[in-house]
Chain A
Amino acid sequence: MSAEKEPLFSSKNIKLLTGPLNDSNPITVQVLGICSALAVTVKVKPAFVMALSVLVVMAVSNVVISLLRKTVPPRIRIIVQLVVIAAMVILVDQVLKAFLYDISKQLSVFVGLIITNCIIMGRLEAFALSNKPWQSFLDGVGNAAGYGVILIIVAFFRELLGSGTVWGFKVIPESVYDFGYENNGLMILPPMALIVVGVIIWVQRAKNKKLVESN
C-alpha cells in the first residue's frame, strides 16, 4: 500500500473514464457487445434504458469483484464473476419490470442477456481483478458509457430514418411525407444496425488516426 493518497480524480483516473469513450471504445474499437447493439437499437428509448442498465450492472459488479479480488481463488474466479453479474442483472431486470414495464417488454430477453455481454466479463477479468474499487468503478462507468454512447447514436439514426421519430416523438413533419418521403424499412432490420456501427467505426477512424491499423 502506498502511503500517499491518490486524488480521486487524478489524470490517470480520468483517463479510465474517458478512454473508453473514444480510443478504446468497447464497440467500435474492441468490437465487443455487438449482439445487443444490433438488437435493442431500433428505438432510442429502449437503447437508453439498456445503456443505463448495463452501466449499473457494470459499475456495481466491477466494484464488488474488485473488493473480492484478494479472496477469490483464481481457479473459480469466472464462476464468481458470473454469480455477481447474474445477481445484478436480475436486480436490474426486476426494477425494470416494476417501474418501466413497457420498455422492459420491448427489451425482452436482452436484459437477461446482459449477463453474456462480453464487455462486462472482459472488464472484470482485465481490470477489476487487479485494481482497487474506486478505479474499478470508474473503469466500469467509462466502459458502460462508451457502450451506451454508441448504442444511442445507432438508435438515433435507426429511429430517425426508420420510423421518422426520436424518443417516440415525431420529428419528420407530415408535409415531408406528403411530398413523397418514405420511412426506410431497412433501418428497422438488424443488418442496418451493423452497417451503421460500421459507418461509425469508419468516421471515428478517419478522425482518430492512431486507431488505424498498419498492414
Chain B
Amino acid sequence: MKSLRRYIDKVKPHFEKGGKFEILESTFEAFETFLFVSDKVTSKGTHVRDANDMKRTMAIVVLAVVPTVLFGMWNVGYHHFMATGQEGTLLECFWLGFLRVFPIIVVSYVVGLGIEFAFAQHRGHAVNEGFLVSGILIPLIIPVDTPLWMVAVATAFAVIIGKEVFGGTGMNIMNPALTARAFLFFAYPSFMSGNAVWTHGMIAGEGIIDSYSGATPLAEAAAGHMANLPSVAEMFIGTIPGSIGETSTLAILIGAAILLITGVGSARIIISTFVGGLAMGLLLNIFAVNVFMELPAYQHLLLGGFAFGAVFMATDPVSASQTPKGKIIYGFLIGFLAVLIRVINPAYPEGVMLAILLMNVFAPLIDHYVIEGNIKKRLKRAKVKA
C-alpha cells in the first residue's frame, strides 16, 4: 500500500497543471481517488460530512451485486446443459457461464467508462464514478446471448443520451442501466424477448431436448400455462431461465441485506416496492378473470425481474425520490405499476423495467408535492400561533 502511495505521489506532478500529461489530469485523478480517499477537502458552503464518499458507496453496491453475478453465471451454465441434455458439475456450469457473461461485463465497462472518461476530459470535469454500478447492472439485466456489439451500442446510448446530455452522474433523470435495457428491448426485440433468448445456445439451435422450452416463468404465466410454472422454491432460489442476474431472489436478498446494513440502499423504497407489488397482486386476485390474474400475489415478487428491480434499480439514489415520504410513494407505485403492466398488457411482459423508468420520470414531481405539503403544514402551524 505504502509503495503504491509513494508511486502515485511520484508521478502526480506529471499530471498536474504544466506537467507532461496535463491533458489526462481527470483520468489520473479518477484512478488516484479510486485507490485512496481523496485528500481534497471542500472549502465553501455547508456540507454533510461522512467518512464514506461516492466511490466507496458505489463499491458497496458492486459488492452487493456479486452474489447475483456468481449465481447468474452458474445458472447460465446450468440451463445450457439442461437444454442440450448434458450433465454438468457445479464448476463446469459456472465456468461456462463465466465464459459467456464475463465478455459482456468487460464490454459494458469498457464502452461505458470509455465514454465517461472522454466526456470528463473534454469538459474538464473530474471523472464520476456512477458508471461503476451501471456497468455491472447492465450485463445482469439482459439475456445471456445478447450479441456483444448490441451491449456496446446500448451502453453507449445509455451513457450518452441517458446520462451525459443531462450533465453526467447525479443529473440523469432515468436509471442508465434500465435505459440501456429499454433501448435493447425496443431496438432489437428478437434478441430480448421470446423463449429462446434466455438460454445460451438456443438461438443457434443447440437446444435439442424437446421438453426444455426455455420460457421464463413469467412468459409461462402470461400465456396461462400454470402447470409449467416451476415450484416456489425453484423461483426463490433462482434455477429458472431469465436475464443473467435477475433469476435468484435469494441472491438478490443477500445483496439487499448488504445494501440495508451499510445504509446505501433505501429500506423505504425496497419495502414499499414489495408492498406495492403485493397490493396489486391481491387486487388482481380479487378481480381475477384469467389464470394469470389468479396467480398468488406473493409469487409476483419472485417472477421476472421484480426483486432485482426493487433492490438494485429502484433504489438508485439519483433517479429515485429524495424525500422520505416521497420514497414510499415512489416505491409503492413502482411495485403497483410493475404488476399491473405485467398482467394487463400482454405486449410488455417485463413491467418492472417500464414501471421503474416511468416512476423515475415522476420522482421529482412526487418530491415537489411532498415538499409543498410540508410547507403548507408548517405555515398553518405558524398562523395558529400568531
Real binding pair? yes
A residues apposed to B, CB below 8 Å: 180-182, 184-187, 189, 195, 198-199, 202
Most A CB contacts (10 A, CB to CB) among B147, B161, B186, B187 go to B187
Given known pairs A198-B165, A202-B165, the reply for A185 and B186 (CB within 8 Å) is: yes
Whether B183 is near chain A, meaning CB under 8 Å from some CB there, is yes
Q: How far is the CB of A206 from chain B (nearest CB, A)?
A: 10
- Minimum distance in angstroms from B294 CB to a CB of chain A: 33
16 A-B contact pairs sorted by A residue (CB < 8 Å): A181-B149, A182-B150, A182-B190, A182-B191, A184-B153, A184-B187, A185-B187, A185-B188, A186-B183, A186-B187, A187-B187, A195-B161, A198-B161, A198-B165, A199-B161, A202-B165
* Inter-chain contacts of B189 with A (CB < 8 A): 185
Among B183, B186, B189, max chain A CB count under 10 A is at B186
Kindly report which residue of chain B lies nearest to residue A161, judged by CB atoms.
B187
A189 to chain B: which residues have CB within 8 Å? 186
Q: Say yes or no: B186 contacts A186, CB within 8 Å.
A: yes
Q: How far is the CA of A202 from the CA of B119 in the complex (A)?
A: 14
Which residue of A180, A184, A185, A195 is within 8 Å of B147 (Cβ)? A180
What residue of chain B has the Cβ atom nearest to residue A198's Cβ? B165
Expressed in whole angstroms, the minimum distance between the Cβ of A38 and any Cβ of chain B is: 15
Asked whether B165 lies within 8 Å of A182 as measured between CB atoms, the reply is no
Task: Please pick, from A182, A195, A199, A202, the residue contacting B188 in the complex, using a CB distance under 8 A.
Answer: A182
What residues of chain A lie closer than 8 Å to B149, measured between beta carbons?
Answer: 180-181
Report A160 CB to chain B, min CB distance, Å.
Answer: 14
Q: Which of chain B's residues has its CB closest to A182's CB?
A: B188
A184 contact from B161, B165, B188, Cβ within 8 A: B188
Q: Which residues on B are within 8 Å of A, measured CB to CB?
A: 147, 149-150, 153, 161, 165, 183, 186-191
Closest to A180 in B: B147
Neighbouring B residues of A182 by C-beta, 8 Å? 150, 188, 190-191
Q: Which of A182, A195, A202 gathers most chain B CB within 10 Å?
A: A182
Q: Which 10 A-B pairs have CB atoms at the shortest separation, nearest pair first? A: A186-B187, A186-B186, A184-B187, A185-B187, A182-B188, A180-B147, A185-B189, A195-B161, A185-B186, A189-B186
- Inter-chain CA distance A187–B187, complex, in Å, is 7
Task: Give A189's nearest chain B residue, CB to CB.
Answer: B186
Q: How far is the CB of A155 from chain B (nearest CB, A)?
A: 18
Q: Which residues in B have their C-beta under 8 angstroms from that of A199?
A: 161
- Which chain B residue has the least Cβ–Cβ distance from A202? B165
In Å, the complex CA distance between A198 and B191 comes to: 27
Complex-state Cα separation, A185 to B191, whole angstroms: 11
Q: Residue of B at shortest CB range from A186? A: B187
Give the chain A neighbours of B186 by CB distance below 8 A: 185-186, 189
Cα separation A180 to B147 with both chains bound (whole Å): 8
A181: chain B residues at CB < 8 Å are: 149
Alpha-carbon gap, A179 to B300, bound state (A):
39
B contact residues around A186 at 8 Å (CB): 183, 186-187
Report how far A189 CA is from B189 CA in the complex, Å: 13
CB closest residue in chain A, given B187: A186
CB distance from A185 to the nearest CB of B (A): 5
Chain B contacts for A180, CB-based, 8 A: 147, 149
Q: How far is the CA of A91 from the CA of B147 in the complex (A)?
A: 50
Complex: chain B residue closest to A191, CB-CB: B186
Distance in angstroms between the alpha carbons of A198 and B186 in the assembled complex:
19
A186 to chain B, nearest CB (A): 4
**Shortest distance from the beta carbon of A48 to any chain B beta carbon, whole Å:** 25
Measured CB to CB, the closest approach of chain A to B150, in angstroms, equals 7
Least Cβ–Cβ distance between B204 and chain A, in angstroms: 11
Residue of A nearest to B192 (CB): A185
Residue of B nearest to A187 (CB): B187
B191 partner residues in chain A, CB cutoff 8 A: 182
Bound complex: CA A198 to CA B149 (Å) = 24
Instruction: Please indicate the chain A residues that have their CB under 8 angstroms from the CB of B150 in the complex.
Output: 182
Contacts of B190 in A (CB 8 A): 182
CA distance A182 to B191 in the complex (A): 10
Q: Which residues of A contact B147 (CB under 8 A)?
A: 180
Complex Cα spacing A187 to B183, Å:
10
Task: Knowing that A184-B187, A185-B187, A187-B187 touch, tell me 14 more A-B residue pairs with CB under 8 angstroms.
Answer: A180-B147, A180-B149, A184-B153, A184-B188, A185-B186, A185-B188, A185-B189, A186-B183, A186-B186, A186-B187, A189-B186, A198-B161, A198-B165, A202-B165
